[in-house]
Chains A and B, each alone.
Chain A
Amino acid sequence: MTTTRRLGGRVRIVAPRRHGPEFSAQQTWSELSKNIKEIQNHNACNLSFEENHRFAYNMVLYRQGEMLYKGVKSLISENLEYLLREQVAPVFPSGASQESLQKSNEAEMLLKALKSIWDDHLGNMSKLGQILKYMDRVYTKAAEVPETWETGLTLFLEHIFRPPIKEHVITAILTQIEFEREGYTINRSAVKGCVDVFLTLQTSAGGPTVYKEDLEPALLKKSRSFYEAEGKRLLISCDAPEYLRRVENALQAEESRAHHYLSSQTALPLRQILQDCLLTAHLGNVISMENSGLDVMIDTDKIEDVARLFRLYSMVPTGMTCLKRALKDSISRRGRDINQSSLSVDWDEQDDAQGDNSNGKGKGKSKPAASGVQTLGLALKWVQDVLDLKDKFDIVWKSAFGSDRDLESALNEAFGSFVNVNSRCSEFISLFIDDHLRRGLKGKTDTEVDLVLDKTITVFRFLGEKDVFERYYKGHLAKRLLLKRSVSDDAERGMLAKLKVECGYQFTQKLEGMFNDMKVSIDTMNEFRNYLQKPGISKPCIELSVTVMTATFWPMTHSNSPCTIPQQMNKTCKQFEQFYLSRHSGRRLTWQYSLGNADVRVKFKQRKHDLNVSTFALVILLLFEDVKDDDFLSYKEIQELTAIDHTDLKRHLQSLACAKFKILKKHPPGRDVDTSDSFCFNSDFTSQLQKIKISTVSSKVETSSERRETRDRIDEERRHQTEACIVRVMKLRKHMTHNELVNEVTPLLAGRFQPNPLDIKKRIEGLIEREYLERCEDRKSYNYLA
């Protein structure tokens, strides 16, 4: 309201009526105090508010505020003491009873009584506050004392919430909570009422509440000891899934407890206690619990339990580390089993000539022929097992771990480590892919195969030595391409694209070169055929099909055995050579007989058969063309006539004489070919099939000597790669210290294999010798010499 005042003319302001001498402080107070007592007896409805307000107003007005204030205070105190005596004291817990139900009932009574006098007190205080409003407005501020309402709370604190009553009440609340934790039902509202009192009262003006000061610490202490004991008890009595279920329930129960009848500010410390006592303290024990821990949960596909475990473990900081460790253990254990089973059967009969590069687990020489197929089976089984295991953990990871990135890397790490423990993992994976691209497509649809190959790529990612894989893959791909075993060109190219995505252009460059060679060869052959049609060119007596392979792209692991080929074959070969070199000058053609094969029609006694044999086998068979049916050629003669290496010769003789289709007869009969054996043409051969494929006996899985050779080649290749990498780096930097150089080179090579610093050092020394680099005077760094 504005203060502008219009004082018009002559206006007389009449002074208000004086209250005069009739006012007596004593008398007013005695009236008022009587009425206050009435209010405390719940008889406010018989009292006039106006009258009492006027009493208080007058007392303040006549400067009797202090008397009023003190009088009211003492009246409140008296009333509180009275209430305490009448209502609370009778229900004090006897303390004699040990029975928990009884105790709980007693506690409830006390809490209810306390709540009821609190409500009573608050009601009184609000009425008094209304009557004494004028005092609060005028007197308390001037006298700097708390207003009626605050005074009421302080007095309650002083008279009711004092030792030992407060302790009794706290104990009662704790008793109730513990009773509920044990699974009984309690009167939550009674507890809540009392907790609210604790929450309302402050220890001092603006200070912490009594709840924070007294109740909460006691509550937390009690909870800690309860859950510590509970954790130990559950650990003994429950299995892991049950334990975790209980923990989750306890967490929910405490959460609801905190929000329903405690303070929400307690929820956090309570949760912390639960996590400390039930989770952090027992993480390791629960996860590795025998017959029910994480391992078993995964074994039995208890996704829900695993998910719960993840939920709970991700709450506490150490939980993830523990979970990761357990997962790694679990995977490496399973991985060990898979490795073991692939090794144990295979290498039951360990050869003494064990490869010196073996990992000690027994990488002997496979029994070449017989166990070859079995070994292949094992290799496929190994990869399949790894894939299955990966699938299993992928499912767990997706459905139970919420696709957590952190865990994914832990899982991958674990897979990587056990896969790489198997020293032949690269070969096995390549074999697996080979198998699927060869025959797998027949039974499965394109998408299925694609899926399998995709999965294989995930395993491939674990490989530490990708260059080894590349070598094997190249070998297998070469076989598939040359023998036309690859079922689908699309699938091959798809696989290549996948590898390209994984390892980059460089990795697949040579593989693509192989595909290109195949394509160019087809064109070349068409041109060659057209060329032969031309007049004046002598028609060849055999049909020739040549695949021209670029030497650097194709693996050269196959044997380079010489071979004396018959005249008619040689002629056509020369014809092709002539044709080819006329179109591409400066190239050199080397015939790789060992990779070829031939279709030949053979006349047996009964009928003629079309045989598909390897080039070597054809050469051997052609020897028998001029030999009478019952005459023998000794091993030695054959060797001399064909000039084929012993190992290859034995292999091909074996496939002709000892395999499923016996085109030759061996004397004496037996499975293995010996240098003292002799052979004759088996003209009695019969078969229902017109076309017969004589597959060369070969072990697809490498023998140890082959493997040693592969290993050597790989080592050599690595040496080249390392050197190339060092030179590249040095060319760029010109000058580097040794450590810097090693640190620079290592990650560059890591995509293909794990380089050893010592090897790098050797390469550096090699380069210094060849004067690509020079050692600086400080003996620690190098200069690049252009």
Chain B
Amino acid sequence: MADVEMRTESKDDDWVRIESNDGFSFLVRRRVANISGTIKNSLDTESGFSEAESKTYVAREYRGLIIQKLLEYMCFKAHYDKVGPKEEVPVNEFLERIPAEIVLELLLAADYQEM
């Protein structure tokens, strides 16, 4: 499955690594990572910062829990971005999965990550 996608969307479909400050490491498609403007810019091969060289973005200010939620949203968005206008987007289900405790932290992170 991955191979097929690699071939069809080779440009956006390579894997990139997102790391949190508490040692968690997440592998996502570049396509998903690009949902965040900040991560997208950091991994931009044109500009060639060290993140782009290593294909790894280290979010030093955020713990794994926050990153995980961010990535969850990014996957959610990447998936539902593509569906037609008729299909219902289950926004509320997603909202229910956000624990209230991390809402503020998540909000700040989302602002920083340009989402």
Q: Which residues of A contact B (CB under 8 A)?
A: 1-2, 4-8, 11-16, 44-50, 52-54, 57, 126-127, 130-131, 133-134, 137
7 nearest A-B pairs in the assembled complex, by CB-CB distance: A49-B42, A130-B41, A49-B49, A11-B100, A127-B47, A16-B105, A49-B51
B49 x A8 contact (CB < 8 A): no
CB distance from B53 to the nearest CB of A (A): 5
Q: Which residues of A contact B96 (CB under 8 A)?
A: 6
A residues in contact with B38, CB < 8 Å: 53, 133
Q: Are A53 and B57 in contact (CB under 8 A)?
A: no
5 contacting pairs across A/B (C-beta < 8 A) = A14-B102, A52-B49, A126-B46, A126-B47, A133-B114
Whether, in the assembled complex, B61 has its beta carbon less than 8 Å from a beta carbon of chain A, the answer is: yes
Determine the distance from Cα of A8 to Cα of B92 in the docked complex, in whole angstroms: 14
Count class of interface residues, chain B = 20 to 34
Considering the complex, give the chain B residue whose CB is closest to the CB of A42: B48
- Note all chain B residues with C-beta closer than 8 A to A48: 49-51, 58
> Cβ of B27 < 8 Å from any Cβ of A?
no
The answer to whether A50 touches B101, judged by C-beta atoms less than 8 angstroms apart, is no
Distance A133 CA – B95 CA, assembled complex (angstroms):
28
B112 — nearest CB in chain A belongs to which residue?
Answer: A57
Seed contacts A11-B100, A47-B49; 11 additional CB < 8 Å A-B pairs:
A13-B103, A16-B105, A45-B48, A49-B41, A50-B42, A50-B57, A53-B41, A126-B47, A130-B47, A133-B38, A134-B112
Distance of A2 Cα from B90 Cα, bound (Å) = 11
A7: chain B residues within 8 A (beta carbon): 100
Q: Indicate which residue in A50, A52, A131, A133 contacts B37 across the interface (CB closer than 8 Å).
A: A133
Complex interface: chain B residues within 8 A of A2 (CB): 91-92, 95
Residues from chain B with Cβ under 8 Å of A50 in the complex: 42, 51, 57-60
Q: Please report the C-alpha to C-alpha distance between residue A134 and residue B59 in the assembled complex, in whole angstroms.
A: 16
Most buried by A among B41, B42, B49, B57: B49
Q: In the assembled complex, which residues on chain A have CB atoms less than 8 Å from the CB atom of B112? A: 57, 134
Residues in B97-114 with C-beta less than 8 Å from chain A: 100-105, 108, 112, 114
Alpha-carbon distance between A13 and B42 when the two chains are bound, in angstroms: 30
Q: Kindly supply a per-residue 1/0 record for chain B positions 6-20, scoring 1 wherever the CB is within 8 Å of any chain A CB and 0 otherwise.
A: 000000000000000
Q: How far is the CB of A135 from chain B (nearest CB, A)?
A: 12
Within 8 A of A (CB), among B9-47: 37-38, 41-42, 44, 46-47
In the bound complex, residues from chain A placing their C-beta under 8 Å from that of B104 are: 13-16
Near A by CB (< 8 A), chain B positions 66-115 give 91-92, 95-96, 100-105, 108, 112, 114
Closest to B108 in A: A16
Identity of the chain A residue whose Cβ is nearest the Cβ of B94 in the assembled complex: A1
A100 to B108, CA, bound (A): 64
- Report chain A residues within 8 Å CB of B50: 45-49
A15–B107 Cα distance when bound, in Å, is: 11
Residues of B within 8 A of A137 (CB): 114
Q: Which residues of B contact A15 (CB under 8 A)?
A: 104
Q: Which residues of A contact B61 (CB under 8 A)?
A: 54
CA distance A13 to B108 in the complex (A): 13
Residues from chain B with a CB closer than 8 A to the CB of A134 are 112, 114
Interchain CA distance A432-B7 in the complex, whole Å: 83
Shortest distance from the beta carbon of A386 to any chain B beta carbon, whole Å = 75
Please pick, from B37, B42, B44, B95, the residue contacting A4 in the complex, using a CB distance under 8 A: B95
* Contact A44/B47 with A14-B101, A16-B104, A53-B42 known, Cβ cut-off 8 Å: yes
Is the CB–CB distance between A130 and B103 below 8 Å? no
Q: Are B100 and A8 in contact (CB under 8 A)?
A: yes
Which of A14, A16, A126: most chain B Cβ within 10 A?
A16
Q: Nearest-CB distance from A81 to chain B (Å)? A: 23
A11 CB contacts on chain B under 8 angstroms = 100-101
Q: Which residues of A contact B58 (CB under 8 A)?
A: 48, 50
Residues of A with C-beta under 8 A to B44: 130
**In the complex, A134 Cα to B41 Cα: how many Å?**
12
Indicate if the CB atoms of B48 and A1 lie closer than 8 Å. no
Instruction: Output the least CB separation between B101 and chain A (Å).
Output: 6
Nearest chain A CB to B52 CB, angstrom units = 8
B63 to chain A, nearest CB (A): 10
Q: How far is the CA of A457 from the CA of B47 in the complex (A)?
A: 80
Q: Are A6 and B41 in contact (CB under 8 A)?
A: no
Complex: A222 Cα to B52 Cα, angstroms? 48
Q: Which of B51, B53, B96 neighbours the largest number of chain A CB atoms within 10 Å of its CB?
A: B51
Once bound together, how far apart are the Cα atoms of A41 and B47, in whole Å?
A: 13
Q: How far is the CA of A46 from the CA of B50 in the complex (A)?
A: 6
In the complex, what distance in Å separates the CA atom of A595 from the CA atom of B3?
Answer: 107
Which of chain B's residues have a CB closer than 8 A to the CB of A54?
60-61
Chain A residue with the shortest CB-CB distance to B110: A1
Residue of B nearest to A52 (CB): B49
A50 to chain B: closest CB distance in Å? Answer: 6
Instruction: List residues of chain A with CB within 8 A of the CB of B105.
Output: 14, 16
Q: How far is the CB of B25 from chain A (nearest CB, A)?
A: 15
Whole-angstrom CA separation of A8 from B61 in the bound complex: 28
Q: How far is the CA of A702 from the CA of B17 in the complex (A)?
A: 111
Determine which of B48, B59, B60, B91 lies in contact with A44 in the assembled complex, contact meaning CB atoms within 8 Å. B48
How far is it, in angstroms, between the C-alpha of A1 and the C-alpha of B52 when the chains are bound?
30
CB-CB < 8 A to B101: which residues of A?
11-14
Contact residues in A for B91 (Cβ distance below 8 Å) = 1-2
Determine the distance from Cα of A54 to Cα of B62 in the docked complex, in whole angstroms.
Answer: 12
- Which of B37, B49, B53, B100 makes the CB contact (< 8 A) with A13? B100
Chain A residue with minimal CB distance to B49?
A49
Which residues of chain A are within 8 angstroms of B37 by Cβ–Cβ distance?
133
How many Å from the CB of B103 to the closest CB on chain A?
6
Least Cβ–Cβ distance between A46 and chain B, in angstroms: 6
Kindly list chain B residues whose C-beta atoms are within 8 Å of the C-beta of A126: 46-47
Q: How far is the CB of B55 from chain A (nearest CB, A)?
A: 12
How far, in whole Å, are A5 and B26 apart by their CA atoms in the complex?
Answer: 28
Q: State A2–B98 Cα separation when bound (angstroms).
A: 13
Evaluate contact between B114 and A5: CB separation under 8 angstroms. no
Kindly list chain A residues whose C-beta atoms are within 8 Å of the C-beta of B57. 49-50
Complex CA gap A780/B114 in Å reads 93
- Whole-angstrom CA separation of A85 from B54 in the bound complex: 35
Q: Which residue of B lies closest to A138 (CB)?
A: B111
Q: How far is the CA of A137 from the CA of B59 in the complex (A)?
A: 20
A13 to B57, CA, bound (A): 28
Give complex CA distance A736, B64 in Å.
Answer: 106
- Bound-state Cα–Cα, A12 to B105, Å: 12
Q: How far is the CA of A86 from the CA of B59 in the complex (A)?
A: 39
Chain B residue, CB-CB nearest to A124:
B47
Q: How far is the CB of B6 from chain A (nearest CB, A)?
A: 25
| In the complex, residue of chain B having the shortest beta-carbon distance to the beta carbon of A46 | B50
Tell me which residues across on chain B come within 8 A of A131, comparing CB atoms.
41
Inter-chain contacts of B48 with A (CB < 8 A): 44-45
Complex CA gap A11/B100 in Å reads 7
Q: Which residues of A contact B47 (CB under 8 A)?
A: 44, 49, 126-127, 130
Which residues on A sit within 8 Å (CB–CB) of B108?
16
Closest B-chain residue to A127, C-beta based?
B47
A15 to B91, CA, bound (A): 25
